[in-house]
């Protein structure tokens, strides 16, 4: 069966997509947003943009006070279209830079600073409030940012599967390179799930989807079906 088009049966509401690094949140989230005719917000890109501001200011990412001051003074802007990625810091395009190894190494420390989280969560809620229908991905979206979302999904996949997929994305084939990727994923998962403020964990009412043995398309299909079902259930209450 095909989905109803947005005109026939428009999806209205928010789908949250949380989970560890490399589980497919971005690729699946964009696919789900396109199918639902919804906006799309990548909150990880916002923490990465904040990290660019910190690195450019020459601040130690471990100096929480200086990090908070620097991020408060930065203008961080992200787009909400599923088909394009717009990420800017003080008007400069940083969409490519936010994916660099330097930023990836520092982002967990920056995103653990409570003042940074408060600032970006407020911005995330404003962006979501401006959209009728939205898919939002991150680590704390179902637990903290949007506790009343229409549908909450927690995406998982086995660490070795995630490392293989990331290697494919980066064109890496050597076993040692894949081991390094797996170690980096484990390091970030550990950091993100053990921080005091808004740790990575599934919301009590999240649907857990393990994508280890599912194609990307199958995961998108599953979440679109869950979103349509949640909308119908929500209409009845
Ligand atoms: N079910 C799947 N089957 C095969 N490959 C997948 C699947 N889901 C995602 N991928 C691939 O895995 C890689 C990582 O996906 P993606 O970048 O979307 O993950 P992520 O959770 O957003 O990562 P991060 O949290 O680090 O930003 C991409 O190359 C993507 O195409
Ligand atoms: N809602 C969010 C989103 C992201 N983060 C942190 C944790 C990640 O290590 C980092 C980068 O995210 P990614 O682009 O890999 O999804 O940002 C967070 O704490 N909360």
> Which domains, ranges and CATH numbers included, belong to the chain?
17-230 (3.40.50.300)
Q: What percent of the chain has pLDDT over 70?
A: 94
Confidence of residue 8 (pLDDT cuts 50, 70, 90): low
- Ligand 1 in reach of 195 Cβ (< 6 A): no
Separation of alpha carbons 148 and 18, rounded Å: 14
Q: State mean pLDDT over 4-19.
A: 78
Confidence of residue 3 (pLDDT cuts 50, 70, 90): low
Instruction: Identify the pLDDT of residue 236.
Output: 33
Q: In sequence order, which residues have a C-beta less than 8 Å from that of residue 159 and are 6 or more positions away?
A: 182, 185, 186, 189
Residue 154: both structure tokens together: 């927690």
| Residue 1 alpha carbon to ligand 1 centre in Å | 26
Torsion of CA 230, 232, 235, 236, to 10 degrees: -100
Confidence of residue 7 (pLDDT cuts 50, 70, 90): very low
Per-residue burial over 136-172, b if 16 or more Cβ lie within 10 Å, else e, is bbbbbbbbbbbeebbbbbbbbbebebbbbbbbeeeeb
Q: Which of 17, 19, 21, 26 to mutate to test the pocket of ligand 1 (most atoms within 8 A of CB)?
A: 26
- Ligand 1 in reach of 212 Cβ (< 6 A): no
pLDDT surpassing 80 at residue 180: yes
Q: Write down the mean pLDDT value for the chain.
A: 93
Q: State mean pLDDT over 73-94.
A: 96
| Residue 20 alpha carbon to ligand 1 centre in Å | 10
CA within 13 Å, CB half, 101 = 4
Separation of alpha carbons 233 and 10, rounded Å: 14
Quick one: which atom of ligand 2 is closest to the CA of 48?
11
Identify whether the C-beta of residue 137 lies closer than 8 Å to the C-beta of residue 200: no
Beta-bridged to residue 208, according to DSSP, are 154
pLDDT surpassing 80 at residue 10: no
| Residue 3 alpha carbon to ligand 2 centre in Å | 30
138: annotated binding-site residue? no
pLDDT surpassing 70 at residue 9: no
Reduced to 3 states, what is the DSSP secondary structure of residue 223?
Answer: helix
């Amino acid at each position: 069966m095909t989905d109803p088009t947005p005109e026939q049966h428009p999806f209205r509401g928010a789908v949250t997509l949380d989970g560890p690094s490399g589980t497919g949140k971005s690729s699946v989230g964009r696919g789900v947003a396109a199918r639902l005719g919804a906006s799309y917000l990548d909150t990880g890109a916002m923490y990465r943009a904040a990290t660019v501001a910190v690195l450019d200011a020459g601040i130690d990412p471990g100096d929480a006070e200086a990090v908070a001051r620097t991020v408060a003074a930065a203008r961080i802007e992200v787009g909400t279209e599923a088909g394009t990625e717009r990420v800017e810091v003080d008007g400069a395009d940083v969409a490519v830079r936010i994916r660099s190894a330097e930023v990836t190494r520092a982002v967990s420390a920056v995103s653990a600073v409570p003042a940074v989280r408060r600032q970006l969560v407020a911005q995330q809620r404003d962006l979501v409030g401006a959209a009728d229908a939205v898919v939002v991905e991150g680590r704390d979206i179902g637990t903290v940012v949007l506790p009343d979302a229409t549908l909450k999904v927690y995406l998982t996949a086995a660490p070795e599967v995630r490392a293989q997929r990331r290697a494919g994305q980066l064109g890496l084939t050597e076993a040692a390179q894949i081991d390094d990727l797996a170690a980096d994923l484990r390091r970030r998962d550990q950091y993100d799930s053990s921080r005091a403020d808004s740790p990575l964990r599934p919301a009590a009412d999240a649907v857990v989807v393990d994508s280890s043995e599912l194609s990307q398309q199958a995961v998108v299909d599953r979440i679109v079906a869950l979103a349509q079902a949640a909308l119908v259930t929500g209409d009845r209450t």
